[in-house]
Structure 1
Amino acid sequence: MAILFMSTHAGDAEDYLPLLKGHLPDQDIRVWPDAVGDPADIEIAVIAVPAPGVLAGLPNLKAVLSLWAGVDSLLGDPTFPRHIPLARMVDPLLGVDMTHFAIHWVLHFHRGLHRYAALQGRAEWHPVAYPEAAERRVGIMGLGVLGSDAALKLASLGFAVAGWDALAKSLAGVETFAGAGRLSDFLKRTEILVVLLPLTPETRGIVNAETLAALPRGAFLISLARGGHIIEADLLAALDSGHLSMALLDAFRHEPLKADHPFWHHPKVIVTPHVASHTTPRTAAAEIAVDVRRLLSGGMPRHLVDVTRGY
């Protein structure tokens, strides 16, 4: 039995291999593409983004452990073996990073900090007024592990927080909405929208002309999940019309964002290069090792993905 490690990010193998071997010293860990060996030996794949067809070419594969929280890249491979258990990464530090990033930008827009650069450029000493936190209505779109943590932490800071998800959820101190029929109600009460949804066929393009129009005029968008959630032309139109005040965008349909993309130079867009959170090798390797041991003992990995839903 062998474990295949595969990542498209340069340096990942060098970071992960010593850690994984430290946790799993008796296991045969191979690295794609240089040290795969006999594909029939591979029973567990630890992977971020697969080269098309690689997983389908492993005849004895028993489970796939994603290096990322999102699995849309894995399921986007038409040859992905959907009968095999797929587990997503739940790295505790990834959640901490994402919540910190969400809180930072909610506070940034709540306090009107985006306005001070222009004031400084005009040498204007002009404090920007802002409401009490309890009067600021923040909405978290997506109440999975990451979205729920961000919602709870923002609520603990005194914000009026609501969350929307496809499935009904219950969070202390957070008003929750569920299903397509309640999306409009959720958006109408949301002044700062934080998108933390998985990318699925149902959520692709969910930030569009209709949903943006449902937000109150002057709302803010914080997009931290996947670029595929956004219809870019609709977002630009909402910004240009003044319906949206600002947008913070951390993820894009095509990355890196091309130099001629209008987001770079739009006065109401802040671009960050997909840095809201990242998987930390030290903690992620420990999580992977737990699931490998579960598989070796005949069990199942944690955090299993429903491949029909995409999360």
Structure 2
Amino acid sequence: MTNPHASPSLGTLVFYSKFDDFGIWKRALQSQLPALRVVQADEVGNPEHIHYALVWKPPAGFFQPMTQLKLIVNLGAGVDSLASRDDLPAHVPITRISDPNMARMMAGYVLFATLRHARDIPYFEAAQRRGEWAYRHPRNPGDIRVAVLGLGELGAMAASELQRQGLTVLGWSRSPRRIEGVQCHAGLDALNAVLSQADILVVMLPLTADTNGLLDRARLQRLPHGAAVINVARGAVVDQLALTELLQSGHIGSATLDVFEREPLPSGDPLWSMPNVLITPHLASVAIPASAAKQIADNLVRVSNGGAPASQVDLRRGY
């Protein structure tokens, strides 16, 4: 492929995100493409001069006036926030960031959360708060069944890391997958059987029309009594009210939640005060500018040369 630095005039990229640092992303992109003009959304001037957009949850109508747009890059792996928009130009490809560092970050979070439950750390945390020396013998890792729902790029790496720890790992996805050391299952008909075996459930599914509300009360109740739930996907995949009530009843023993139906999680939500729940603010895996900029730059050059970008998204499928 042509060296990105050799391209004299790529045009202008607009950046929009309320959660990411514009300055860091601009420096990372221009280190790859010095000739690229990078502007924030409020610096655009004439939107007809915009050729590329690097965005996370832009406001309604954002893309409408960008008549020369060639590429939309979603600032993350999940593209559900773009799926229901009515201002997306039909001819403009959309890509997601596919960065090995994001996959490693996600796998690290899932590994931490899973081992925390596998080693009964919430039990010992509760004992510490009581000032009690409460011994509980560790379980054999092979006797702990971990179900990973979603075996895409991030889910597959997480499942592989878990099985390396000696845990019994079951994977579930819409279409068949093969991952060494992981018992892979596919299709909706297989989901209930996977759930019924899961001592620890890890949710890593993209949010699509098919997965919205997939883990409803009935499916959550199929988990063995005392099972743990880890959600690093999207809050809407899980019925949050049902999850909360099952945590309160003890049917679900504990949870690690990085995503919620509404974000930020409202201050009065009962999940905040539950001792068997660990909450983190949607940070299990985020795009790292220094490593992701190379992929973005390569795609900008591909598109500017009339080619197709890598990691292109099919919004009809939701990923």
TM-score by length of 2: 0.93
Q: Is the Cα contact below 8 Å between 2:15 and 2:38 reproduced in 1?
A: no
Q: Counterpart of 1:72?
A: 80
Q: Structure 2: where are the runs of 5+ without partners?
A: 1-9
Counterpart contact for 1:3–1:46, Cα < 8 Å: no
Counterpart AA for 1:65: V
Matched, 1:15 2:24: yes
Between the aligned partners of 1:27 and 1:170, the Cα distance in structure 2 is 41
Partner of 2:143: 135
The question of whether the paired residues in 2 share the 8 Å contact of 1:2 and 1:30 is answered with: no
The answer for the alignment partner of 1:205 in structure 2 is 213
1:42 has 2:42 as partner: no
Question: For residues 117 and 188 of structure 1, what CA distance do their matches in structure 2 show?
Answer: 27
Q: Could you tell me whether the CA contact under 8 Å between 1:227 and 1:253 is conserved in 2? A: yes
C-alpha distance in structure 2 between counterparts of 1:186 and 1:180, whole Å: 10
Conserved? CA contact 1:208–1:234, under 8 Å: yes
- AA matched with 2:128: Q
Q: Matches of residues 64-103 of structure 1 in structure 2 within 5 Å?
A: 64-103=72-111
Structure 2 residue corresponding to 1:29, chosen from 38, 49, 71: 38
1:153 aligns with 2:140: no
Aligned counterpart in structure 1 of residue 200 of structure 2, from 187, 192, 205: 192
**1:33 aligned counterpart, secondary structure:** helix
Matches of 2:88 and 2:275 in 1, distance apart? 41
Aligned residue number for residue 273 of structure 1: 281
From 246, 260, 283, give the equivalent of 1:252: 260
Q: Is the 8 A contact 1:6 1:31 kept in 2?
A: yes
Q: 2:291 aligns with which of 276, 283, 287?
A: 283
Partners of 2:19 and 2:134 in 1: CA distance: 47
Q: How many residues align?
A: 310
Q: Following TM superposition, by how much is the alpha carbon of 1:143 offset from its aligned partner in structure 2, in angstroms?
A: 0.5
Structure 2 residue 276 is matched with structure 1 residue 303 = no
* TM-aligned CA deviation for residue 82 of structure 1: 4.1
1:224 aligns with 2:224: no
Q: Secondary structure at the match of 2:290?
A: helix
Structure 1 unaligned segments of length 5 or more: list them: none
In structure 1, what residue type is equivalent to 2:228?
F
Task: Give the whole-Å Cα distance in 1 for the aligned partners of 2:295 and 2:225.
Answer: 43
| Identity within the alignment, % | 35
Structure 1 residues 153-162 or 10-19, which shifts more? 10-19
Equivalents in 2 of 1:228, 1:11: separation in Å?
A: 23
4+ long deviations beyond 6 Å: none
- TM-score normalized by the length of structure 1: 0.95
Q: Is the Cα–Cα contact under 8 Å of residues 166 and 178 in structure 1 kept in the other structure?
A: yes
Deviations 1:74-115 (A, max 9, x none): 223232234421111112211111111100111111111101
Kindly indicate whether the alpha-carbon contact (under 8 Å) linking 1:6 and 1:50 is maintained by their aligned counterparts in 2. no
Farther off after superposition, 69-78 or 100-109:
69-78
Please give the root-mean-square deviation of Cα atoms over the aligned residues, in Å: 1.5
